[in-house]
């Protein structure tokens, strides 16, 4: 089935799609409600909202709109156990690689605007069918005249100028549909989402982040990063050397020693990003990693969601990690308050809840020996605890936005290591980190 569809670029056109979505949801609720009442049931609003037909409507509309309309739900679902109903969170997670792609003529028009008439003469070949289509843009395989194979990332038309209105409109839809719990103030997260999305929609920022990451990695032979080509790149088109590795999940078929080595490299990289460099690629999508079985290198892709964490923030996060690994409950409360999980007026009960959740989340860092990610039920236990807490005592606040982005990063890493059935000596890696001198923190990793 073809997934080609033009991107609606006008504000009115995008708002109209959301309006039709809201109308379709309402109609679906009425139909489902009538059916359930006829059977003698008294369904809740959530039951009526998240029927398979309504989930399908939401998925199709957001996939058609792409841009921030897809991204905002993904950002809100980073703490899926906290914010959105599980069925809706799963839907938004599936949207990540389920976007429609542009018709061929639209691709040609975008490239002509970027490179001028006769742009095809720069290439031996250019595949108009994309390798991948996501929320901000799509990626094409091509070969330059000199024989170099490249990946060309093309942004959907109108994405940049639709970000603010899309975020506001989708958030309004979620509130009106009562998919956001009333006790949550998501205003700071939505403001952060807008800022982050504007960065992601500027491919010059991504090119700079790629080069900066490559410099930070230096001669670390466990990783490779594509090289952006400045003369074929701008804010809306990013051309880079082609990474021809296999999907990271292909590691599942490698011997355990190779899987564990790759998992250790990925864990070390994440720790360095957060605590050493202060420059974090926060998108956990598995498609952002590839594995070259010949060289055994992990290829790192897509740096649009890169965030900078200044030294003071990294010190606070390091103190919280140290408290969770070796500290008392009082140590965790103090560090969690500094980071923003807790406030001065929180009840003892709420503090105990947060302390317990942080201890649970940091289990791999306290485990003696190699932590068996493949056999761990930590994700399920965390989910169960969050649901229980939400029922007994609604959580009073969301963590700061920059912390939620870290949840996204580290949660995605955990799921990847679980998929790879990896065993990693996390405690040893953490111990090396915590014994390092705080003064060794690098200066801010600002990306120009």
CA–CA separation, 44 vs 307, rounded Å?
39
Residues counted in the chain: 448
Write the pLDDT tens digit of every residue in 108-141.
Answer: 999 999 999 999 999 999 999 999 877 788 999 9
Is pLDDT at 192 greater than 90 in this prediction? no
* Angle subtended by helix axes 378-392 and 348-361, to nearest 10: 170
- What does the pLDDT look like over 249-263, one tens digit per residue? 999 999 999 999 999
Do 268 and 172 share a domain, yes or no?
Answer: no
Q: What confidence category does residue 226 fall into, taking pLDDT thresholds of 50, 70 and 90? A: very high
Whether residue 430 sits in one domain with residue 358: yes
Q: Tell me what the mean pLDDT of segment 329-348 comes to.
A: 94
Residue 367, classed as helix, strand or coil, is coil
**Both 322 and 267 in a single domain?**
yes
Please indicate, yes or no, whether residues 276 and 424 belong to a single structural domain of this protein: yes
Provide the phi-psi class of 116: left if phi over 0, else alpha when psi is between -120 and 50, else beta. Answer: left
Query: pLDDT value at position 9?
Result: 47
Active centre residues (catalytic): 283
Round the average pLDDT of the chain to a whole number and report it.
Answer: 80
Instruction: Tell me the C-alpha distance between 261 and 265, whole Å.
Output: 6
| Domain final residue pick, 190, 219, 242 | 242
How crowded is the C-beta side of 12, counted as CA atoms within 13 Å?
A: 0
Q: What is the DSSP letter of 80?
A: T
Question: Are 24 and 86 members of one domain?
Answer: yes
Within a domain: 318: yes
Statement to judge: residues 142 and 82 lie in one domain: no
Q: What single string gives the DSSP state of each residue in 314-351?
A: HHHHHHHHHHHHH--HHHHHHHHHHHTS--TT--HHHH
In this structure, are 238 and 249 located in the same domain?
no
Domain hosting 358: range is 244-448
Q: Model-level pTM?
A: 0.81
**Domains in the chain, number:** 3
């Amino acid at each position: 089935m073809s997934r080609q569809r033009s991107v609606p670029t006008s504000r009115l056109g995008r708002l109209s799609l959301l309006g039709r979505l809201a109308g379709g949801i309402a109609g679906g609720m009425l139909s489902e409600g009538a059916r359930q009442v006829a059977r003698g049931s008294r369904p809740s609003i959530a039951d009526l909202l998240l029927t398979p037909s309504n989930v399908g409507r939401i998925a199709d509309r957001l996939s058609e709109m792409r841009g921030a309309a897809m991204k905002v739900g993904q950002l809100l679902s980073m703490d899926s156990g906290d914010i959105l109903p599980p069925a809706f969170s799963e839907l938004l997670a599936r949207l990540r690689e389920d976007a429609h792609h542009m018709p061929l003529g639209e691709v040609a028009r975008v490239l002509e605007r970027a490179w001028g008439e006769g742009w095809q003469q720069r290439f031996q070949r250019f595949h108009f069918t994309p390798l991948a289509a996501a929320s901000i843009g799509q990626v094409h395989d091509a070969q330059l005249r000199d024989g170099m194979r490249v990946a060309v990332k093309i942004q959907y038309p109108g994405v940049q100028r639709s970000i603010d209105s899309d975020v506001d409109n989708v958030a309004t839809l979620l509130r009106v549909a009562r998919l956001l719990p009333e006790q949550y103030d998501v205003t700071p997260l939505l403001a952060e989402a807008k800022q982050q999305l504007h960065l992601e929609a500027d491919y010059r920022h991504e090119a700079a982040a790629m080069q900066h990451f490559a410099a930070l990695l230096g001669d670390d032979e466990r990783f490779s990063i594509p090289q952006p080509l400045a003369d074929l790149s701008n804010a809306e088109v990013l051309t880079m050397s082609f990474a021809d590795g296999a999907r990271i999940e292909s590691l599942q078929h490698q011997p355990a020693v190779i899987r564990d080595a790759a998992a250790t490299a990925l864990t070390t990289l994440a720790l360095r990003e957060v605590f050493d460099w202060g420059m974090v690629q926060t998108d956990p999508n598995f498609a952002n990693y590839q594995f070259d079985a010949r060289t055994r290198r992990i290829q790192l892709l897509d740096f649009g969601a890169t965030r900078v964490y200044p030294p003071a923030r990294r010190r606070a996060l390091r103190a919280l990690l140290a408290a969770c690994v070796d500290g008392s409950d009082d140590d965790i409360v103090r560090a969690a308050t500094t980071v923003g999980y807790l406030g001065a007026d929180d009840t003892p009960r709420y503090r105990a809840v947060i302390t317990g959740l942080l201890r649970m989340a940091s289990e791999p860092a306290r485990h003696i020996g190699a932590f068996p990610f493949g056999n761990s039920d930590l994700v399920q236990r965390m989910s169960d605890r969050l649901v229980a807490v939400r029922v007994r005592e609604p959580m009073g606040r969301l963590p700061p936005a920059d912390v939620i982005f870290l949840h996204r990063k580290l949660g995605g890493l955990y799921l990847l290591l679980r998929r790879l059935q990896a065993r990693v000596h996390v405690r040893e890696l953490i111990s090396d980190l915590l014994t390092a001198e705080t003064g060794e923190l690098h200066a801010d990793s600002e990306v120009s």
